[in-house]
Chains A and B, each alone.
Chain A
Amino acid sequence: MKRTLLVILLPVFILSGCWDSIEIQNLAIITAAAIDSEENHKVKVSVQIFIPRTITSGESGEDPSLGSTFVREGIGKNLAEAISVLQTNIPRKLFWGQCKIFIFGQDLAKTGIRKELDFLIRHPAPRINSNLYVSEGKASNLLKLIPPLERYSGEVLSKFSQHQEVGVDTTLSDISKDLTEASQSFSLPYIKRLKSDEYARKSYETIPTIVGTAIFKKDKMIGNIDLEETRGLLWLSRKIQKSTVSIKPEENENEVIMMPTSGSVRFKPQIINNQWIMNIQIQVAASIIQNETFLSLLQEDVITKLEKGLENKLRDRISKTLEKIQKEYQADVVGFGRRFHQKYPEQWKKVKDHWDEKFPEVDVKLSVNATIKRSGDIGGPAALPEEEVIEN
């Protein structure tokens, strides 16, 4: 009994041992990575590495503007080579396990990122749920920013993506799915350095911020849409946008400002007489957060008018975005193809190979149904004598 136990346990320790163990002190923890194109078809990879400093120790004399990270770069013929070049300049082992931010430079994005994506998806180290971004200009510059609030710029981006929902939230696994599907299009958040004109801070003490969405067809970036249009795109990705909508009621100079609180988006693909139709039904509930007008919000018909206004506004916003991606970019980043495929597998087979031609022809029928649930803490306009309130 004892001998068998020895025979089993001894090889466990002797043969396997701790071949892949590595102490945290020997890791260079990458918090974000940027990939840019260089001259002669070379690729530059820049990594933002966390500098572990004892937080507990009393010496806090260090200048916080130095930041808690530093950036190192490596250039090579391809991403893999660039990374191995990069490793030669870092004494610790590069640790990709915590890196959830990959930023592509715009130049590289326009020439195509398939080769880089292959490395990121194939290699076991990068996380498949990491977020991807496209930057205006060189991506590596954004890594060098020192945010005043967060510890490093990568954290800024992940907080934007996860908690703020200002831009699309696209991960590596989403892209690998989207690119293998017939739609062959995807969207990434388009980021840019936020201009800071605080006197007390240096020009690099700012953050990268999401300014829109980059539209990809195949693996190439074909254009970008601004933040307003991104909101429309987010509605179509079933994300209820908690951003304000202003409505100007009739015969009124001022606006009522509302914020959607909850809602649902339903897609109903239809094929009638070979005409491909996508019915999009949006249900939204909103609450009023500011009333510039003299209207009393206690009146039912005022509310009904405002609901109509909200519906029109949302419809406009979304159709503007749809117009752009359908007609201008012809890239199915909203996943219409997948929905048709699910409902009409037979018909889908026929158009599968020329979906990018078919997609602009899809007739989108958008219906928005809005309800105003709350008018805020008060009914009528605030700070206004009762006589001046317009009752209807």
Chain B
Amino acid sequence: MTFIKKQIHRKVKVKKRLSQAIPLSNKLKNNIDYFSSLYKDSSDVIFRSFTIGNTEAVIIYIEGLSDLQKLDELVLENLMNQNSEMADVFESLKNNIPISKLKKVHTYKACIDSISIGNPIILIDGQIDAYVLGIEKYETRQIEEPSAETGIRGPREGFTESININTALIRRIIKDPALKMKSVNIGKYTKTRVIIAYIEGLVDNTLIKEIENRLKRIKVDGILEGGYIEQFIEDNPYSPFPQVLYSERPDVISANLLEGRAAILIDGSPLALIAPVSFFSLFQSQEDYYERFLIGTLIRILRYVFLGVAIYFPSIYVAVTTFHQEMIPMDLMLSIASSREGIPFPAIVEAFIMELAFEALREAGLRLPRQIGSAVSIAGALVIGQAAVQAGIVSAPMLIVVSITGISSFLVPRYSIGLAIRLLRFPNIFIAGFLGLIGVMLSFIILIIHLSKLRSFGLPYLSPIVTLQKNATRDTLFRYPLWKFNLRPHLTGQFNPKRQKDNLKPSKREKQ
């Protein structure tokens, strides 16, 4: 009993010691003792001791995170060849080591922080400071084409897992110094670097404060993906609808920054988060803007139509065939009756079987190696469906309904809202099987109420339709020509509404 108590006591003590940021000792031996006890049983932490003139010194770094070539050639060589006494160590290091990032720290905590991100520290006997060498280098994935957000037109670059590359990609698009990147570390063990990017002067400062506050609230062991952050900072955690957008495209992130939103980049994740978002921004794809506006508008209308199809088509089919047969046109009714003849299940059960089978196949396809898996599983679904129809277990119209529904849920450009739609389909089928079209209507009303209640960082989810500002709806149901987008979106962009010169419409006669 006392033993356990002691253990807990000690743990608390260690924690305290770390958090209090105690200063380094001026005895090298004490410092080395501290670090070697801290990095006990860590075979990848290297302690390299050497002498500068007559002074003992040690370099501590983690294998694989630092550029060893630089360490050898630029640091060790220079320092070991130095004979004279150093009056001001930092000054002489600065002058002797040709490394651009060189920093002085004086607490254990700061030392640990820099070691863990790959910056070696130099400890010198008699000095109460440690010197951090900014030579971190680790293997990263190459910049590749974004695999989840492909497009015909537009840049082919996608974010990678390394946050420095990601910020650089944004910086390469937005060159103005107003682009700010605030950094926070989250995660007790992972210490994940999280960056809030925004454009000063476009964004509402209270939004940035709010994001910072929400991020600071997160006290967890680790952040492995942006999804962790998303779930800790969203306004309505019980809603199936995503209240934060994510994208792996620097151009999408930049476009959102320019509209006065903020992006959250997470080290280790190729997906950056965007906040705040509205329901309608989930239906905007980058190519809407890259292609001409008529095409963009057509495609956008198509998306909204198929959104309705994806959520309600199976439930309307179930409702109509079990309650309101007189609503079906005569010939269609007779074909449905013919193909449903001899089917052993009621329509609602049939719908559930097929929808579940479809979802299962889709999910299985997702876990198959490579993206070809999805094509395979859809082919599988068709084969299974065909066989089921021929065996008389499922009727052909139901198969058509399920296939169309499945395809329409792919039309949504953002995967996260596609998931919400898939989820909503099942309660809808259920309520349609019980209450018919009244049930479908009821669920529609509930959905609308829910959506109107949602907020994303204070922004009404259904804005700008519900807030209905003039000009603000130019980028929702329709995609107006770019030369009519004179104002930034209402609410997110109102801080600095004007975005371009008036009268940018190309005309034959240039106005004088």
Of the candidate stretches A11-19, A38-46, A233-241, A292-300, the one touching chain B is A11-19
- Interface flag for A97 (CB, 8 Å): yes
Q: In whole angstroms, how far apart are the Cα atoms of A365 and B2 in the complex?
A: 120
CB within 8 Å for A54 and B333 given contacts A21-B323, A21-B436: no
Residue pairs across A and B with Cβ atoms less than 8 A apart, 23 shown, are A16-B435, A21-B433, A22-B325, A23-B321, A23-B322, A24-B336, A25-B337, A25-B340, A25-B341, A27-B325, A27-B337, A29-B325, A29-B334, A29-B337, A53-B338, A53-B341, A54-B392, A55-B339, A56-B339, A95-B326, A98-B325, A98-B326, A98-B330
Q: Across the interface, which residues of A come within 8 angstroms of B396, CB to CB?
A: 56
Residues in A224-238 with C-beta less than 8 Å from chain B: none
Contact B433 A97 (CB under 8 A): no
- Contact-size category for A: 20 to 34
Contact B339 A16 (CB under 8 A): no
Q: In whole angstroms, how far apart are the Cα atoms of A98 and B333 in the complex?
A: 8
Q: Which residue in chain A gives the minimum CB-CB distance to B350?
A: A23
Contact A100 B330 (CB under 8 A): yes
Q: Which residue in chain B gives the minimum CB-CB distance to A97?
A: B326
Minimal beta-carbon separation of B60 from chain A (angstroms):
54
CB within 8 Å for A54 and B322 given contacts A12-B435, A21-B433: no
Interface residues of A (CB under 8 A from B): 12-13, 16-18, 20-25, 27, 29, 31, 50, 52-56, 95, 97-98, 100, 127, 151
Contact A55 B322 (CB under 8 A): no
- Interface flag for B451 (CB, 8 Å): no
Minimal beta-carbon separation of A360 from chain B (angstroms):
41
- Interface flag for B343 (CB, 8 Å): yes
Minimal beta-carbon separation of A198 from chain B (angstroms):
26
Pick the residue among A16, A52, A97, A100 that contacts B341 (CB under 8 A).
A52
Q: In whole angstroms, how far apart are the Cα atoms of A24 and B325 in the complex?
A: 8
Q: In whole angstroms, how far apart are the Cα atoms of A31 and B60 in the complex?
A: 89
B206-241: contact bitstring with A at CB < 8 Å (1 yes, 0 no)? 000000000000000000000000000000000000
Contact B322 A21 (CB under 8 A): yes
Pick the residue among B323, B330, B338, B433 that contacts A52 (CB under 8 A).
B338
Q: In whole angstroms, how far apart are the Cα atoms of A98 and B326 in the complex?
A: 6
Q: In whole angstroms, how far apart are the Cα atoms of A53 and B392 in the complex?
A: 12
Q: Across the interface, which residues of A come within 8 angstroms of B436, CB to CB?
A: 20-21
Contact A23 B346 (CB under 8 A): yes
Interface residues of B (CB under 8 A from A): 321-323, 325-326, 328, 330, 333-343, 346-347, 389, 392, 396, 433-436, 442
Q: Across the interface, which residues of A come within 8 angstroms of B392, CB to CB?
A: 54
Pick the residue among A31, A55, A97 that contacts B338 (CB under 8 A).
A55
Q: In whole angstroms, how far apart are the Cα atoms of A306 and B422 in the complex?
A: 68
CB within 8 Å for A20 and B337 given contacts A12-B435, A13-B434: no
Pick the residue among B325, B347, B434 that contacts A95 (CB under 8 A).
B325
Q: In whole angstroms, how far apart are the Cα atoms of A261 and B336 in the complex?
A: 39
Q: In whole angstroms, how far apart are the Cα atoms of A97 and B339 in the complex?
A: 19
Contact A24 B433 (CB under 8 A): no
Q: Which residue in chain A gives the minimum CB-CB distance to B320?
A: A24
Contact B343 A25 (CB under 8 A): yes
Contact B389 A29 (CB under 8 A): no
Q: Across the interface, which residues of A come within 8 angstroms of B434, CB to CB?
A: 12-13, 16-18, 21
Contact B338 A54 (CB under 8 A): yes
Q: In whole angstroms, how far apart are the Cα atoms of A95 and B336 in the complex?
A: 15
Q: Across the interface, which residues of B come within 8 angstroms of A95, CB to CB?
A: 325-326
Contact A23 B347 (CB under 8 A): yes
Q: Across the interface, which residues of A come within 8 angstroms of B323, CB to CB?
A: 20-22
Q: Across the interface, which residues of B come within 8 angstroms of A56, CB to CB?
A: 339, 389, 396
Q: In whole angstroms, how far apart are the Cα atoms of A55 and B436 in the complex?
A: 27
Q: In whole angstroms, how far apart are the Cα atoms of A31 and B337 in the complex?
A: 13
Q: Across the interface, which residues of A come within 8 angstroms of B341, CB to CB?
A: 25, 52-54
CB within 8 Å for A52 and B340 given contacts A23-B321, A23-B346, A98-B326: yes
Q: In whole angstroms, how far apart are the Cα atoms of A275 and B23 in the complex?
A: 119
Q: In whole angstroms, how far apart are the Cα atoms of A27 and B333 in the complex?
A: 11
Q: In whole angstroms, how far apart are the Cα atoms of A31 and B330 in the complex?
A: 9
Minimal beta-carbon separation of B204 from chain A (angstroms):
30
Minimal beta-carbon separation of B342 from chain A (angstroms):
7
Q: In whole angstroms, how far apart are the Cα atoms of A55 and B331 in the complex?
A: 13
Contact A24 B340 (CB under 8 A): yes
Minimal beta-carbon separation of A157 from chain B (angstroms):
12
Pick the residue among B321, B325, B347, B442 that contacts A97 (CB under 8 A).
B325
Q: Across the interface, which residues of A come within 8 angstroms of B334, CB to CB?
A: 29, 50, 52, 151
CB within 8 Å for A22 and B340 given contacts A52-B334, A56-B389, A98-B333: no
Minimal beta-carbon separation of A147 from chain B (angstroms):
15
Q: In whole angstroms, how far apart are the Cα atoms of A364 and B77 in the complex?
A: 121
Q: Which residue in chain B gives the minimum CB-CB distance to A22?
A: B322
Q: Which residue in chain B gives the minimum CB-CB distance to A29?
A: B337
Q: In whole angstroms, how far apart are the Cα atoms of A31 and B341 in the complex?
A: 17
Q: Across the interface, which residues of A come within 8 angstroms of B389, CB to CB?
A: 56
Q: Which residue in chain A gives the minimum CB-CB distance to B392?
A: A54
Q: Across the interface, which residues of B come within 8 angstroms of A22, CB to CB?
A: 322-323, 325
Q: In whole angstroms, how far apart are the Cα atoms of A31 and B392 in the complex?
A: 25
